[in-house]
Chains A and B, each alone.
Chain A
């Protein structure tokens, strides 16, 4: 993975010093709360429902074991010994002390980490495929490009005060696992007929209040032009994006207003002035970055380990785990392993200090000392030998990291919601817990099969509910929590935004409604259909009819989502 050189480290150290000074000036009354807010947000510090929340950057989800140990130590010393992984592959600490945040950033800097631009109206953490570098369907490792973008976006002087936040994701595989079309810019790695690497560029995607999939504005951008082209997009957005209404300030609104074609034309016109300058990326830089992500020293192993095959026959629980949590690897004899952070009774994406240490140990012992955070809020060991899987499973199981539910109904993406987040209209964690309670039988979950269920506590859509097969959105009406349900969203190459099935539900109705939707699927599916396939074949009506059957229509009156002031979002 990427290691800092002297300058990389120096910049992060200087950032800590800058932030320390800002907090000191604030505490001395020289920097008002309004003046501090955008500064602290660009260092990941929110002021939340119960106090501060610190969002730590994990660039494109990559972590070394030593970094995870440091996160464990920080969570113990400065928080409640638990961290929460987010859909931007970051980690949030929910209970730090405001005055201690400079110390936390200094601790992070000691292991080449930071909280730079994890919030605020700037370019946020770059995200990508959590199987980068090992996926069999990958064209090229996307991480060197992610690191290039990390450096380009870090302290970019022109784009630190954009109209709104700005998210970029990179996909380099045949199957998009980074939801690139739900991003302000989505980059799809492709090669042209001469074998040159470049990107198909999507712009204007995003979830939130107005979910839209990104539109392609360029079919092939040679990789050397990546930064100047992004400069052109960002400059247009910085100059012409709306600043009068924060709900209309994302780039998607600008792209919509101009039309994708006209937006693309303006980008090309601006880029014509910028291209071929010093920002053109050199082959030497691509080579330097690629060296940082050179494959580890994989052994030459048989594709099928006989002992492993035997275990699969004799141990059903292990076989179930392998089926859901072990993924194909490009190298024979290796596998990628997802450690589920979606055990029953646990907030989705939460990881305790002890679990962090356990995962770091697993990474050291079985996966070259590295791991990844997925945007689905799980942890991935990318390079496990097949013959070690049984040991990994047993150790993971002893730390409650081996729930065999990846890609199943209970592998929910879920934001912290109203229990912790000041923006939320409703709680999301109790809904996740209720879903776990209702669907606690693994055999039933396996029968339901591949499905995604995501939960957001407000329209900001941190829980990615729009791109879930079943999405749950918390809304507020007269200080009551209601839940709006969407169906038909999905990630991947056929990314789609789910459709609202009708009026919202009370919290206690939600598990029943989900079960009703599932029942329609189980009754109507053909042998090969997943939930989403049946939905697409049948349309909304049978699902809607079952979901509302026998419900009091007055109680489920249409709720117009209202929102609290989204000062911090």
Chain B
């Protein structure tokens, strides 16, 4: 079974990620058995059908798709995937933060795509708590990427207080 990093642990995981192949349309594509992360287009086209058929719901957003698209569905989604087509495409960092901080999403946010050790720290700070590491990379080694820095200057999902609000206390300790 595939393995992912979830909550800083390596775990088995059986979620599939559906992508539309050439010629397939959101309306016609065959839905795999659950659990499955659906492309946004499939979710929007066949929401009622999916909700009726699946107990656990999951959708993934590509880097050019915003969290606004899921505003009405947030509470029923168990997993939201955020895709990194290339690791240098940073849009999904904003998506993840918005899902957590603006839409108050509390389920799993999973990084998909070009997910590499050296970006895990920033991803985690933005509220991503599950990582489907790129298949050719060593997932055990990648775990270290979650702990690159012992602190951070900015407020983010993992630490809502910027360092300047904590600095005095820290230095006094």
Q: Which residues of A contact B (CB under 8 A)?
A: 5-7, 10-11, 14-15, 18, 21-22, 30-31, 35, 38-39, 121, 148, 151-152, 154-162, 227, 235, 238-239, 243, 273, 277-279, 281-282, 284-285, 288
Given contacts A161-B87, A278-B162, contact A5 B153 (CB under 8 A): no
**Listed A/B pairs (20) with beta-carbon separation below 8 Å:** A5-B167, A11-B151, A18-B118, A18-B149, A21-B144, A22-B118, A38-B87, A148-B164, A155-B152, A157-B93, A157-B154, A158-B122, A158-B156, A160-B119, A161-B87, A227-B162, A239-B91, A273-B102, A278-B162, A284-B168
Given contacts A159-B90, A161-B90, contact A278 B149 (CB under 8 A): no
9 closest A-B pairs by beta carbon, nearest first, are A161-B90, A157-B125, A157-B122, A285-B164, A151-B153, A158-B93, A278-B155, A279-B155, A14-B149
B66 interfacial contact with A, CB 8 Å: yes
| Given contact pairs A18-B149, A156-B153, A285-B165, a sample of 4 additional A-B residue pairs in the complex whose CB atoms are under 8 Å apart | A11-B150, A11-B151, A155-B149, A238-B93
Contacts of B91 in A (CB 8 A): 238-239, 243
B171 interfacial contact with A, CB 8 Å: yes
Contacting pair A278 B66 (CB below 8 A): no
B88 interfacial contact with A, CB 8 Å: yes
- Name the residue in B138, B144, B150 with the highest tally of chain A Cβ atoms < 10 Å from its Cβ: B150
Interchain pairs with CB closer than 8 A, number: 109
Contacting pair A152 B149 (CB below 8 A): no
Contacting pair A238 B125 (CB below 8 A): no
Given contacts A35-B87, A238-B94, contact A158 B155 (CB under 8 A): no
In the complex, what distance in Å separates the CA atom of A22 from the CA atom of B141?
Answer: 12
Contacts of A157 in B (CB 8 A): 93, 121-123, 125-126, 152, 154, 156
In the complex, what distance in Å separates the CA atom of A160 from the CA atom of B161?
Answer: 20
A27 to chain B, nearest CB (A): 15
In the complex, what distance in Å separates the CA atom of A14 from the CA atom of B9?
Answer: 22
A284 to chain B, nearest CB (A): 7
Contacts of B144 in A (CB 8 A): 21
Contacts of A243 in B (CB 8 A): 89, 91
Contacting pair B171 A5 (CB below 8 A): yes
Contacting pair A161 B149 (CB below 8 A): no
B163 interfacial contact with A, CB 8 Å: yes
Instruction: Using C-beta atoms within 8 Å of the partner chain, give the interface range for chain B.
Output: 35 or more
Residues of B122-159 whose CB lies within 8 A of A: 122-123, 125-126, 138, 141, 144, 148-156
B23 interfacial contact with A, CB 8 Å: no
B116 interfacial contact with A, CB 8 Å: yes
- Name the CB-closest residue of B to A243: B89
In the complex, what distance in Å separates the CA atom of A22 from the CA atom of B154?
Answer: 24
In the complex, what distance in Å separates the CA atom of A282 from the CA atom of B87?
Answer: 35
B2 interfacial contact with A, CB 8 Å: no
Contacting pair B97 A161 (CB below 8 A): no
Contacting pair A279 B162 (CB below 8 A): yes
Residues of B101-130 whose CB lies within 8 A of A: 102, 116, 118-119, 121-123, 125-126
B152 to chain A, nearest CB (A): 6
Contact of B153 among A15, A31, A152 (CB under 8 A): A152
- Name the residue in A159, A161, A278 with the highest tally of chain B Cβ atoms < 10 Å from its Cβ: A161
In the complex, what distance in Å separates the CA atom of A156 from the CA atom of B97?
Answer: 12
In the complex, what distance in Å separates the CA atom of A30 from the CA atom of B87?
Answer: 16
Given contacts A35-B116, A278-B155, contact A7 B164 (CB under 8 A): no
Contacting pair B170 A160 (CB below 8 A): no
Contacting pair A158 B126 (CB below 8 A): yes
In the complex, what distance in Å separates the CA atom of A243 from the CA atom of B170?
Answer: 40
In the complex, what distance in Å separates the CA atom of A39 from the CA atom of B145?
Answer: 13
Contact of A18 among B116, B148, B162, B164 (CB under 8 A): B148
- Name the CB-closest residue of B to A160: B122
In the complex, what distance in Å separates the CA atom of A239 from the CA atom of B51?
Answer: 30
A39 to chain B, nearest CB (A): 6
A7 to chain B, nearest CB (A): 5
- Name the residue in B66, B89, B122, B153 with the highest tally of chain A Cβ atoms < 10 Å from its Cβ: B153
